[in-house]
Amino acid sequence: MALAYAPSLESTPVRIRERYDHYIGGRWVRSSSGETFATINPATEEALAQVASGTAEDVDRAVVAAREAYERVWRPMRPADRAKFVYRIARAITERSRELAVLETMDGGKPIKESRDFDVPQAAAHFFYYAGWADKLRYAIPGASDPSPLGVVGSVVPWNFPLLMAAWKIAPALASGNTIVLKPAETTPLTALLLAEICEEAELPPGVVNIVTGDGRTGAALVAHPGIAKVAFTGSTEVGKAIARTLAGTGKRLTLELGGKAANIVFADAPLDQAVEGIVNGIYFNQGHVCCAGSRLLVQEPIHDTVVERLRDRIETLRLGDPLDKNTDIGAINSAAQHAKIRELVQSGIDEGATLVEQSCALPTRGWFHRASFFTGVTQAHRIAREEIFGPVLSIMTFRTADEAIEKANNTPYGLSAGVWTDKGAKSMYVAQRLAAGVVWCSTFNQFDPSSPFGGYRESGFGREGGIEGLRPYLTA
């Protein structure tokens, strides 16, 4: 008999304003156009709030405020004092962690247990980590005894991990002595705006952190602004290419963390129970809205049928539903547009002859949801094996030898991450060293730490986030 779950809804109260303005120069400022847009709860399709729609004029005001704060306050400040402010922000995030988690789930659709246990703690950890670096910058670049900050950083972050991506950009920028203008994703701006409130509570000097909300046009204005010294972007490969073209020849620093189509390689000698859990975590975490998701599963031929059977049984145990329910494993797809893209690519897999297996649960009557699913009978020519689906959909292929697995894993324009499952350490190292991926997890998946660099190659971008490697792009020697 299957277990029945009673709803266990998160009860932490969250105050959401009817309207949010830009945060520029330490003040809440209306858009110069007066226009706003609605941010939507993807689980209910209801508007949560109206948010200011940024213009080029708003971006210019934010950059001017950031430059003034950089020259008058932030750069001249003692590094140890800058560290105190970054540390205050970290402490405030931990103190308001449940509020941030609930807001992240309501605005983005991810399960509350993921926001609570991963996004918010990781965001705080990055601020704690880089607070420790603020007075040790002389050790950041080998051979450089006195590295300097760049100036004003312009950052554009995506909708899949809004708070965490903001932390990845803001923490190293502030610790290294820069000021920043952040443009959050149009569909998930609320936690970035709550982070602005936290900066106020931490008494961060006005203009050090500025938040300008809006759509892609706002981000394009920020990237192209002549007052920006460095651009840090996380998002799609297509937009990343456009940003690189815009900045070519300008002398601006640029780091890009873009899309991925990671291979998760399972050898016949792998501990299968552990591997199946790693597969589930690799693709169904955050509904597959993860750039480093293990969306291509390469299984050694002798265990293919066993892995497929175990995976079929495992996805039936996943709970799909209200993201605010602590029992939920699969939450809502972030937007109607993303839901349509997932459905279109799933249909292409069916049309091209692959076999779809999905969990048998009912979908909620409101909101954008997609069942956890996987395809068998996939070849490298299928669109679902080549294109980033960015949803809870896995493509399963087979291999015979380690070299064949390496060749298939590298047969992609991306190069962000990969996973290797085997009980042989030598085999793990042999395969990992030959994979064209910035991060390779061995007998685990989706493990992150603020001190560990993360980033990719090829169409997955360049530069690193996290660790000392994530600090250096914000400094010059």
Q: Which residues are known to be catalytic?
A: 257, 291
| C-alpha distance from residue 462 to each of 155, 164, 455, 456, 470 (Å) | 15, 19, 7, 6, 11
Collapsing DSSP to helix, strand or coil, 40 comes out as strand
State the maximum Cα–Cα separation within the chain, in Å, rounded to a whole number: 68
Cβ(23)–Cβ(204) under 8 Å? no
Distance CA 446, CA 438 (A): 13
Number of neighbours of residue 426 by Cβ within 10 angstroms: 8
Amino acid 117 reads D
Cβ(436)–Cβ(407) under 8 Å? no
Phi, psi of 309 (to 5 degrees): -65, -45
Residue 430: exposure state from Cβ atoms within 10 A (0-12, 13-18, ≥19): middle
Collapsing DSSP to helix, strand or coil, 401 comes out as coil
Amino acid 105 reads T
Which H helix or E strand runs over 181? strand 179-183
What single-letter DSSP state applies at residue 441?
Answer: E
Q: How many CA atoms lie within 13 A of 77 on its CB side?
A: 27
Distance CA 274, CA 277 (A): 5
Number of neighbours of residue 387 by Cβ within 10 angstroms: 15
Torsion of CA 354, 359, 362, 363, to 10 degrees: -70
- Listed in order, strand segments (DSSP E) in 389-467 are 393-399, 417-421, 439-442, 461-462
- The pair of three-digit structure tokens given for residue 453, joined into one six-digit string: 């660099």
Interior CA angle at 256 toward 252 and 259, to 5°?
A: 155
Phi, psi of 442 (to 5 degrees): -110, 120
